[in-house]
Structure 1
Amino acid sequence: MRTLNEFSTALALAQRARKLTANALALRTGLTPQAVRQILAGETAPRLTNAMAIASELGLELVLVPKEAAPSLSGGPRAERTVLSDVERRLGLRSGVSFTPGK
């Protein structure tokens, strides 16, 4: 994600998938319902701690990666994976090899 809009969209999609209201997220994170709604709508940039709290409640993790690795993690059709996670390394996978869990 590179923009506030992409970030808020990802949070909003996770919110809908988890079927949580803004009020429920507010109660769980200690934020006001208005603040949660503004963050999910991309109307305001959240503080890092608030973003982490909302993401956690939505089953997401905020992760910093080197810019060089970011394109390979985006999952786009042209993205070729050049960086392997620790799990992928332990499974013995190589760059460019796709792995679908459970298949």
Structure 2
Amino acid sequence: MRDMKVIGEGCNAIRIYSNEDGCEIRASGILVQGNKDMNEMIKIMTTKDVENGLLQLAEVTGETPAYLRKAASNLLNDLRAAGVPLFLWCGEWVGE
């Protein structure tokens, strides 16, 4: 993986590695791998607020913001279920 972004500090930090093929999310001994679509969503979700992020995702995918809000929610729920500490993530995206 070529690019890395770190959210948080220490043992609880979330490390996101990405390249043109997809991404890996590593946190607290957990490894989650994702495809190009997940990589694009993660990039936007870690750099944009919800409103602007959904609009940017809509431009990229051609989907509606309402559909993308549900897709983002499902992605975050899956990451939470896998054990990724989402309390470190942008609170707006995780609803905290």
Tell which has more relative contact order, 1 or 2 (C-alpha 8 A, sep 6+): 2
Bigger strand fraction: 2
- TM-score, normalised via structure 2 length: 0.31
| TM-score, length basis structure 1 | 0.30
